[in-house]
Chain A
């Protein structure tokens, strides 16, 4: 089955630690995205990638980093510089940037202790 796989589903981190969230897709989509969702709020764009080896900052990129070395993979690192990292993180992909529906993974819930 084609889709997007995020891991881990739940993650606990101590303050000052970096963590990396995995996102893999087998849909052959060019564009991939990372969103952050906080309770009662919409989805806010962290980073996006229109094509392999390219990525751009979204609205809330501070304290996060990404890479896109392979078409299928778009990992997100939450660094210690992110002031309030506890949130639900959603990875998505689409056939091309700004085109077609977004397919979402099941999300990763990060809690900073």
Chain B
């Protein structure tokens, strides 16, 4: 079946360092979404990418969708303690397939 793999599973960074998480799908996606889940919370929508090669920015966050629409990345510049949480990608095939998530810890 369709799978969305996400790496790394865990990432610990010093505050101020950059962070990147990657998603890869076994099949072409019609779109990809990114969600953030704070510890003890529920996933909250961040963004949706639809077009091949699309890049979107939200302040310190940069999202990319690959040319083949099979991979995506989220990059955070100069992490802050408020960035702590688990970041999930969700690719739309015949349903939303969630990646396993990357848990980000930011060390002050």
Which residues of A are at the interface with B, using a C-beta cutoff of 8 A? 33, 35, 40-45, 48, 58-59, 90, 98, 100-107
Contact = CB atoms under 8 A, between A and B. Distances in A.
B7 interface: no
Given A48-B95, A101-B33, A43 B1 contact: no
A103 B45 contact: yes
Contacts of B45: 101-103
Interface of B: 1, 4, 6, 9, 30, 33, 35, 41-45, 48, 88, 90, 92, 95-96, 98-101
B42 A90 contact: yes
A107 B44 CA distance: 12
Nearest to B46: A101
Closest 9 CB pairs of A and B: A101-B45, A42-B98, A43-B98, A104-B42, A42-B100, A104-B43, A106-B42, A107-B42, A42-B99
Given A59-B1, A102-B33, A42 B6 contact: yes
A79 B30 CA distance: 34
Given A104-B42, A106-B41, A107-B42, 4 more contacts: A35-B98, A98-B92, A98-B96, A102-B43
Contacts of B33: 101-102
A58 B45 CA distance: 21
A101 B90 CA distance: 10
B103 to A, nearest CB: 8
B20 to A, nearest CB: 18
A45 B94 CA distance: 12
Nearest to A33: B96
Contact of A104 (B44, B48, B100): B44
Given A101-B33, A101-B48, A58 B43 contact: no
A90 B86 CA distance: 15
A42 B88 contact: yes
B33 to A, nearest CB: 7
